[in-house]
Amino acid sequence: MKHPLFALVRGILPVCLALAACSETPTAATPQQFAVKVAKEVVKSDYQVPSVADVKGHSNEELIRYGGRLLNETKRLLPNNVGASMNCNSCHIANGKEQKGAPYVNANLTYPQKMPRAGKMVDLAMRINGCFQRSMNGKPLDVNSKEMQAMLAYMAWLSEGLPKKAKIDFDAGGKIDESLVPNPERGKLLYAQQCVSCHGDNGQGSKDARGNVVFPPLWGEESFNIGAGMARTYKAAAFLRDNMPMSVQKNGAWGQGGVLSDQDAVDIAEYFTHQPRPDFAGKVKDWPEGNKPKDARY
């Protein structure tokens, strides 16, 4: 028999996924404050992740809200640019506001930067288009389009008023011991216990009656392609450890991890990332200067 909590979560989650309002993470009652640093010097000690309500009356309100919607409902709103059955926020948890859930919070401050994968300077629009082509298995957006400008406006709003060289002291996670040896057989068993209920027996995820994404697919033709960061074992493992299984947690707020050990996460990640998924034609141009990460797929 399924745990009653499961039935509850199953009832609530799709509703929340459909309503942008619910995608605010239900964290502790007092909003968390973070230090902002330039080099190592604290220039502000009380940064708070802005809430959707704070956009009201902003001079750029319409564009910021549009950007937030596009990131949340990318597949539905941008079908020509999205090949996968995924939304940006399928991976960027809680509208990119969640620590360790691939947050967007520092994005506007930290680009342009040189990326080893591209072997050149990458600005934020290029970075977003990288996720369109790989994580969404789709096509880049025109940089001057209203849609790209809206996404950029949303990300800029998250760190509004901070100096360009600053960094919000957000623990974005992403680190896992790469000497752990993956065991995909064990990963397959853990997947059946911890993940199948939402992501399906064949990693296909699920959609609602209108065809909108409810649980995003983890592999197959409708998932991210082999060029995505999530296709790499250790990157995926850190994400799993810190965010999945969603809605189950031992400490902290909803979906903040604390269930899988590092070894569990590495085993499951090895299993699911290596299932069949779309290829990425642009892969031949990656890491032109070498320094390929250990878990690169090609």
Return the SS3 of 79. coil
Element (H, E) at 152: helix 146-158
| Binders in 166-205 for ligand HEC, by CB under 6 A | 174, 194-195, 197-199
CA distances from 230 to 26, 62, 143, 150, 244 (A): 25, 31, 24, 25, 14
Beta strands in 39-89 (DSSP E): 41-47
Q: Measure the CA–CA gap between 180 and 206, rounded to whole angstroms.
A: 31
Cβ distance 298 to 281 under 8 Å?
no
- Binding span for ligand HEC by CB under 6 A among 41-49, 176-184, 233-241, 278-286: 233-241
For position 139 contacting ligand HEC by CB under 6 A, the verdict is no
Q: Does 127 bind ligand HEC (CB under 6 A)?
A: yes
Q: Does 150 bind ligand HEC (CB under 6 A)?
A: no
**Choice between 15 and 28, CB closer to ligand HEC:** 15
Q: Do 296 and 287 form a contact (C-beta atoms < 8 A)?
A: yes
Q: Which of 34, 43, 69, 110 binds ligand HEC (CB under 6 A)?
A: 110
User: Cα(108)–Cα(87) distance, rounded to whole angstroms?
Assistant: 20
Whole-number minimum distance, CB 46 to ligand HEC, in Å? 21
Between 47 and 215, CB nearer to ligand HEC: 215
| 136 part of the interface to ligand HEC, by CB under 6 A | yes
Q: Which residues lie near ligand HEC (CB under 6 A)?
A: 9, 17, 71, 74, 86, 88, 90-93, 102, 104, 106-107, 110, 127-128, 131-132, 135-136, 151, 174, 194-195, 197-199, 215-218, 224, 228-230, 235-236, 239-240, 244-247, 268, 272
